[in-house]
Chain A
Amino acid sequence: MTLHTLNRPPSDRALLDDCIAALVADDTLLLLEDGVYCALAGLELPAGVRCVALAADVAARGIGDRLATGIEVVDDIGFVELCCHHSRVASWF
């Protein structure tokens, strides 16, 4: 179980592709900073991968009502909890 964080927008396609290729079942993808823009279109993720976005970054960009279905929003406390609930954290940037 790995928590992956991604902080770059979907226009950084190579990074997004590399990140998605590394995801396996039971991993979680946390979108933060400009990475929350990846939540607009919806991502084709492997089965069993949960996708969440950081609340403050979603709110700062005014996209809270435009997130693709299936994407959860967590606050900073939720970010810390995700780190605790996964055995390691990988950051894509």
Chain B
Amino acid sequence: MNFSLLVYAAPHSRQAAETAYRFAVAALAQGHGIHRVFFYGDGVHNGSALASPPQDECDLPARWQALAKEHELDLVVCIAAAVRRGVLDANEARRYEKPGHNLREGFELSGLGQLAEAAIHSDRLITFGA
């Protein structure tokens, strides 16, 4: 079965970001596919390269990145939600004349069309609400 996940929660604020990650691990372990993970609202903070949690705490952005690398996952961060929260890639940093960018490698900024496409082309879209 082909899943897509919609993640509304930031790491360290709501548990839903961790639940989504656990779901992805469990689905992949059973041989299912993950078409896309779409990070929306506060969920865009999962794509930050600058999050630096204490070493004894779960580093969700790093875990998503590692999982995506291992399984070639498509991690899409909503561009409108990300830019207003200060999660920028190099292009957006240039566009808004900001001094730096912080979108983590393995994630990409894109629009809501990617969510609509995921809903159409996945067997199930699972929402992890904050």
Interface residues of A (CB under 8 A from B): 7, 32-34, 54, 56-57, 75-77, 79-81, 83-84, 88-89, 91-93
Contact = CB atoms under 8 A, between A and B. Distances in A.
B124 A88 contact: yes
Contacts, number: 51
Given A56-B22, A93-B130, A7 B124 contact: no
> Which secondary structure dominates where chain A touches chain B?
helix
Q: How large is the interface on B (under 10, 10 to 19, 20 to 34, 35 or more residues)?
A: 20 to 34
Contacts of B130: 93
> Which secondary structure dominates where chain B touches chain A?
mixed
B129 A77 contact: no
A93 B129 CA distance: 5
Contacts of A93: 8, 16, 127, 129-130
A84 to B, nearest CB: 5
A84 B1 contact: yes
A91 B127 contact: yes
